[in-house]
Structure 1
Amino acid sequence: MSPVDHPWEPIPVSEVARFFAGLDAPWWIGGGHAVELAVGRAFREHGDVDVGVLRRDHLTVRRLLSGWDCWAADPAGSLRPWPVDETLPARVHDIWVREATGGPWRLQLMLDESDGDDWVYRRAPGIRRPLDTVVVRDAGPPRLASEIQLLYKAKHRRPKDDADFAHLAPLLTGEQRSWLAAALTEELGDHPWLEKLPPR
């Protein structure tokens, strides 16, 4: 069986938070779990759990995961082992992680770009913002800011992405709505979500 065909058994978000609490670098919960943390309740099933970090910190993260089996995902769809202390090429932004070779996948590590004190959106580098506005730290684990998470979900809209938008968009502040609308327009030009983002 190819590694990509191995099943997923995601680690619960609470366990992810306990593990990554020892990381000396910014990290956050992303994907659908970040949406549910922002909404305040679970409302759909999840096939994996996403953990975001900055590319500049990826070797630090790999050392934290030194006892785990980590595989770099090529954008073409293949997986290859990621040894400790190997600097990943810029095209790799997605890593699959499991406890042991042959076991189920447990979490997905996502690499975000940065430039000095700015976070940079890898799909459209003109979209950027101060790093200290990217991660929300409230009552739960750190999570990706809602408007950024929706931007990531917008390009390849699936039913679950539309469901996440429907739950999360009403909770956005006027500033968040404006930022998301501008970012969607810059990256995609036109998007069905734009008509649902009038200022509050």
Structure 2
Amino acid sequence: MPEDHDEERALEIPGARPLSPADIAALDDQWARAWTPAEVARRLEGVDLPWYVAGGWALDLFRGRQTRRHGDLEIGVPAARFGEISDRFPALVFGGVGQNRLWEIATPEVLAATHQTWLRDPATGDYLLDVFREPHDGTTWICRHRRTIRLPYEEIICHTPDGIPYLTPELVLLFKAKHVRPKDQGDFEGVAPELSPAQRARLAELIGQVYPEHPWLAELDR
């Protein structure tokens, strides 16, 4: 199932920069000074909405230690409340990303057709934060890979001892199951043994719904 049917419209919006694998590799330096989870938590202190660190950083927050280098920092926020995030950073620039294209400026049209937004410092060109504008229904989170998966935000957001919110590891691994790049496989192999029996069961159930032939299912059944 596509991540978001609306993103097909992104192909029709002019002004995009195509992102080939070589282009993405060339952006590594611009992401080298991205914020850490602690930095973004400090900058978003007092924001009254359910946000969370996502991706590989979320798995490291779950494990209580950094286990590998991270190329960026991703957070998820309810799509309809994205303005409460962008209002925090009036001096910075948000660009839209979708369908392997980058729009340097996330116009309303781009925001409507994509779910991913990169926050850039215009003075240095550094990318600092990757914001996922996630589908939701009020206080219910909706999985963009399979919209029948709906969970209350209070069930999907965990916190570190010092209060940094992060997406529960079962859902992080569900997203990583789509492509299974080498880093995704490494994350699964490192995190799966640290999941509780209930977390392993839920991850297996979710992957079974979205990717019923996925090789991780055999590992989770052991």
TM-score by length of 1: 0.89
Task: Provide the aligned length of Structure 1 versus Structure 2.
Answer: 195
Please point out which of 21, 30, 43 is paired with 2:45. Answer: 21
Residue 53 of structure 1: aligned partner: 77
AA aligned opposite 1:179: R
Aligned ranges for residues 139-178 of structure 1 at < 5 Å?
139-140=161-162, 141-178=164-201
- 1:96 counterpart residue number: 118
- 2:62 alignment partner in structure 1: 38
Deviation for aligned residue 1:147: 0.4
Give the match for residue 212 of structure 2: 189
CA distance, structure 2, for counterparts of residue 195 and residue 113 of structure 1: 30
Sequence identity of aligned pairs in percent? 32
What code does the residue aligned with 1:23 have? V
- Could you tell which deviates more after superposition, 114-123 or 43-52? 114-123
- Amino acid paired to 2:128: R
Of 41-50 and 111-120, deviating more is 111-120
Extract unaligned runs of 5+ from structure 1: none
State the TM-score, normalized to the length of structure 2.
0.81
Q: Report the aligned-residue RMSD.
A: 2.0
Cα distance in 2 for partners of 1:138, 1:15 equals 14
Letter matched to residue 143 of structure 1: Y
User: In the aligned structure 2, how far is the partner of 1:117 from the partner of 1:15?
Assistant: 25
Contact 2:76 2:131 in 1 (8 A): yes
Offset of 1:53 from its aligned partner? 0.7
For residues 81-133 of structure 1, the C-alpha deviation after alignment (integer angstroms, 9 at most, x for no partner) is 125xx4721x4111011121561111111122112332110111111212210
The question of 1:106 aligning with 2:102 is answered no
Residue 41 of structure 2 aligns to a residue whose secondary structure is helix
Report the 3-state secondary structure (helix = DSSP H, G, I; strand = E; otherwise coil) of the residue aligned with 2:145: coil
Q: 2:96 corresponds to which residue?
A: 72
Measured after TM superposition, the shift of residue 58 of structure 1 is 0.9
Shift of 1:54: 1.1
Measure the CA separation in 2 of the matches of 1:106 and 1:3.
20
Aligned AA (2:50): P
Any conservation in 1 of the 2:120–2:126 contact (CA below 8 Å)?
yes
More displaced 10-residue stretch of structure 1: 7-16 or 39-48: 7-16
Q: From the superposition, tell whether residues 81 and 102 of structure 1 become closer, same or farther in structure 2 (CA, over 3 Å).
A: farther
Q: Please give the alpha-carbon distance, in whole angstroms, between the structure 2 residues aligned to 1:41 and 1:48.
A: 17
